[in-house]
A = this chain, B = another copy of it.
Amino acid sequence: MARTAYHDALDEVTSDLVEMADLVGSAMNRATAALLEADLTAAETVIAQDQEIDLRQKALEAKAFDLLALHQPMATDLRTVVTSLRMSADFERMGDLARHIAKVARMRYPDWAIPPAFRGVILEMNALAVQIAARTGAVIAEKNVAAALDVERHDDAMDNLHRRLFEMLLDPSYDGGIETAIDVTLCGRYYERFADHAVSVARRVVYLVTGEKLGDVRV
């Protein structure tokens, strides 16, 4: 009986993490819409809902702590719980990054922060961020090492897009001014960091499941 409660609690930590992956993906998608459409309502929604993500992180931390205190898990279970604490912090931070993008949209409203020439790259970065969040959820839910490799691949693509933003800003044809250059620089960094945190989560799950670093795993 106690053993069942214990395993329920362990499963709950995992399913909470999967939900967080889902929430931060949605938050980023809505934040991008806010940014590209100068949509104040969408921006406010992302900013308000980030508190929900923060609360989930705190709840997960409390659950994991109770698990440690009450059940004193051993070996792999202990590693799972300890790792979940770190992963929940990554998701919480991914939510913050979506909020930062929403705040750029809100700060420039009713203007658009991002000029037309940059929309395509930002849209691609968002699409990658959303996919990355979804694949990270799959990594956790299914202990799916192939999905973890997708996360790494998407992160490489994100880094390329991030570099392209800088190239566009430094191109002689750029005429958007300093304020826009600052906004693009910061938003670019937020998307890139979002992906970095997802990679960190994916790598931790793979290490947990296989005992190997992701770079060394053959699939």
**Which residues of A are at the interface with B, using a C-beta cutoff of 8 A?**
64-65, 68-69, 72, 74-75, 78-79, 82, 85-86, 89, 166, 169-170, 174, 178-179, 181-182, 185-186, 189
Chain B's nearest CB lies how many Å from the CB of A63?
Answer: 12
Which residues from B are CB-within-8-Å of A174?
A: 178
Report whether A170 and B179 are in contact in the complex, using a CB–CB cutoff of 8 Å.
yes
Which residues from B are CB-within-8-Å of A85?
A: 82, 85-86
Report whether A178 and B169 are in contact in the complex, using a CB–CB cutoff of 8 Å.
yes
Report whether B78 and A69 are in contact in the complex, using a CB–CB cutoff of 8 Å.
yes
Chain B's nearest CB lies how many Å from the CB of A179?
Answer: 6
Which residues from B are CB-within-8-Å of A86?
A: 85-86, 89
Chain B's nearest CB lies how many Å from the CB of A77?
Answer: 10
A170 to B179, CA, bound (A): 7
Choose among B65, B72, B79, B182 the residue that contacts A185 (Cβ–Cβ < 8 A): B182
Cβ-closest 8 pairs across A and B: A72-B72, A185-B185, A182-B185, A178-B181, A181-B181, A169-B178, A69-B78, A170-B179
Choose among B82, B166, B169, B182 the residue that contacts A65 (Cβ–Cβ < 8 A): B82
Chain B's nearest CB lies how many Å from the CB of A51?
Answer: 15
A125 to B52, CA, bound (A): 32
